[in-house]
Structure 1
Amino acid sequence: MAHENLAGVFAPVLTPFDKTLKPDGPLFVKFCSWILSQGSGLAVFGTNSEANSLSVAEKLELLGLLIENELPPERLMPGTGACALSDAVTLCEAAAKAKTAAVLMLPPFYYKQVPEDGLFAFYAETIERVGAAAFKVCLYHIPQVSGIAITMPLIERLIKRYPDTVVGIKDSGGDFANTRAMLDAFPGFRVFSGSERFLLDTMRHNGAGCISAMANIHPGAIVNLYETRAGADAPAKQTALNAMRAAYDTAAMMPGLKRTVAEYGKAPGFRIMRPPLMALSDPDWARLETTLNDLGLKMPNLDKILA
């Protein structure tokens, strides 16, 4: 069985930078604390964390800060995917030592059209080298970005070889039919949707929850749907969540989310993107802000926690 903490809502936490483009560790810790206060877990170093713009050393430093500040490791699912096997192992070892709930692990994504045997070997070698009994892996399927799919046969092979380690997957492919196929094929496997748009459907088919970028701005509302999914008003709550996400369909997701946190939290460090990504323009923010106001976005106590 998968780790009991590997369920619910997790946020791929946005990473603030200072004017020199260095990660702002203290502000990062405060923002993680706010997300936790809203009931969500922390999938730090995910896609919307600008994870692949961060070095291994920077990720290790930020993870260390979270642990030093006594944020609960059982609510952490750090991203540890890397193109280099040694980098993946280093990050996974740190997560295992910290006793996080799991790691969220992209496949090695630079080389395309690699054989399934190669992907299996990468995960297997990482797991063998880490060697910790409590080490848990949640696979990360986002082929439209990584260019590498986590296929059903690969999942089956990994579960068969490492049933106590490979315990879940985040499906960010955007096709619920694929998510449903995973849920049907692998009972007990922790399947997370990669968007809260699919949260209710995922939970109705015994899924684990969602790992969603939108949990950076209104985690409480997403957690509320997760917790009240059996209620008569669940469909209406899902519709409201969908409307909030749609507000970001006309703006770049990461810059839009970071500008939202910067403005609502009075924290300019969140406006900064590390190149090659670029910050949201003022005209784009004005349009987004109008929509968010119309939708009634609330980020309770964010400015106080980030102060």
Structure 2
Amino acid sequence: MPKTKPLHWLGGFIADLPTPFDDRDGIDWSAFEMLCEHQIGSGATAIVVGETMGESSTLERTERAEIIGAAVGIARGRIAIIAGAGSNSTGQAIELTEIAESNGADAILSVAPYYNKPMQTGILAHFQSIAASTSLPILLHDIPSRTAREISDETIARLAESTQFIGLNDAAGSVARLFRLRAMLPPAFRLLCGDYTHALAYLTSGGDGCISGIANLFPDRCRQLHEGCTGGNLPAARRASVDLAAIGALMSSEAPIATLKYGMSLLGFMKPALRLPLVELSEDSRKAVALAMTAVGEPTKVSHIPA
């Protein structure tokens, strides 16, 4: 049986945490702890570790285990830990799921198989095999821009027949799909926006939340956006969305992880270091990030703006 009750924590803005690296290309554990505590202190109900913003493709198996274990240890039950555990190999996805479960994760986020372009019957069998290997709740991740295959509405509906599948992180970029899925899925199945640029429209249309890199930078403003949508205060939600628009646009650029890491470095949380093939931003891009962050209206939190 699932370890937690997803409806208690699977909603609002959930930060997809970056993995901070030190000068020797190892994981910066003190920075990682600060990132986790930042989310806990902001009142977030869950965080994602070892997924898109965490540069999962460059992490070793041991590092994934250490990251999940560290997050669980830091959280001490104060926040749910969702571990990235996806792969385009079903066997490898099962191995990553086992790592997540053995290190105390509350749920896994499992992405659609990428690169090898399976048929929908293959995608269905892939996720069913993962579910059979674990007792953890599974949050599906559909991001066709990265995987070249979407999880079809019909496949999601088939998977949702099992309560082990608790929701969808939907980065397909279609608010219309939200309405289609609502009519097809059980009421308890959670629908979260996986693309911040659509978050306001998604939440005002009945979405349950948003998994986003931007929630690392400004969790309070993201919470205002969500509460404005769910509490009927749309002017407040729109103001928060406008404040975040510039940095949100940069986060949706060709270098979202580099943008996030540089932004977090300006706030003093971590170094902007990445692992190849990702590289750090150019000087012009750094200036754009700093200016976009000051546009949020909290310039005193930005440590410096490049000259």
2:35 aligns with one of 28, 31, 35: 31
Change (3 A) 1:52 1:297: farther
Cα pair 1:73 1:100 within 8 Å, conserved: no
Call closer, same or farther: CA 1:243–1:263 in 2, change over 3 Å: closer
Instruction: Tell me the CA shift for residue 298 of structure 1.
Output: 5.4
Establish whether residue 107 from structure 1 lines up as the match of residue 112 from structure 2.
Answer: yes
- 1:100-149, CA deviations, whole angstroms, 9 ceiling, x for partnerless residues? 4421111221312x12221111111111122x2xx211100101111121
Residue 92 (structure 1) shift: 1.9
CA drift at 1:235: 2.6
Of 229, 239, 245, which residue of structure 1 is paired with 2:242?
239
Describe the SS at the equivalent of 2:83.
Answer: coil
What is the alpha-carbon distance in structure 1 between the residues aligned to residue 78 and residue 290 of structure 2? 34
Contact 1:8-1:209 at 8 Å conserved across structures:
yes
Worse overlay, 244-253 or 234-243: 244-253
Distance change (3 Å), C-alpha of 1:248 and 1:79:
closer
Distance 2:253 2:160 in 1: 39
Aligned to 1:78, the other structure's residue is in SS state strand
Task: Compute the displacement of 1:32 (Å).
Answer: 1.5
Once residues 121 and 145 of structure 1 are traced to their aligned partners in structure 2, the CA distance between those partners, rounded to angstroms, is 20
Q: Report the count of equivalent residues.
A: 294
| Residue 257 of structure 1 pairs with residue 260 of structure 2 | yes
Deviating beyond 6 angstroms after TM superposition, the runs of 4 or more aligned structure 1 residues are none
Structure 2 partner of 1:6: 10
2:190 aligns with: 190
Aligned CA distance change for structure 1 residues 250 and 12 (closer, same or farther; 3 Å): closer
* SS of equivalent to 1:76: strand
Task: Tell me which residue corresponds to 2:141.
Answer: 140
Output the TM-score relative to the length of structure 2: 0.86
Q: In structure 2, what is the Cα distance between the partners aligned to 1:67 and 1:38?
A: 17
**Counterpart check, 1:278 vs 2:274:** no
Distance in 2 between residues matched to 1:120 and 1:248, nearest whole Å: 31
Q: Taking structure 1 as the reference length, what is the TM-score of the superposition?
A: 0.86
Distance 2:295 2:159 in 1: 46
TM-aligned CA distance change 1:291 to 1:101, over 3 Å = same
Identity of aligned residues (%): 24
- Counterpart of 1:281, as a letter, is S
User: Is residue 217–residue 299 contact of structure 1 (8 Å, CA) maintained in 2?
Assistant: no
Amino acid at match of 2:214: M
SS at the partner of 2:278?
coil
In structure 2, what residue type is equivalent to 1:224? Q
Counterpart position of 1:220? 220
Q: Distance in 2 between matches of 1:20 and 1:47?
A: 22
Provide the secondary structure at the position in 1 that maps to 2:13: strand
- CA deviations on 1:194-252 (whole Å, 9 max, x unpaired) are 13333333333332100011112111111122123211422333333334312445672
Alignment partner of 1:153 is 2:154: yes
Residue 167 (structure 1) aligns with: 166
Residue type matched to 2:297 in 1?
G
Letter in 1 for 2:93: A
Q: In structure 2, what residue type is equivalent to 1:240?
A: D
Partners of 1:251 and 1:126 in 2: CA distance: 31
> For the structure 1 residues 213 and 266, does the alpha-carbon distance in structure 2 shift closer, same or farther, using more than 3 Å as the test?
closer
SS of equivalent to 2:114: coil
**Matches of 2:199 and 2:292, distance apart in 1:** 23
Q: Name the aligned partner's letter for residue 263 of structure 1.
A: L
Map Cα deviations across residues 254-288 of structure 1 (whole Å, 9 max, x no partner): 11111111122163x3x111000011122321233
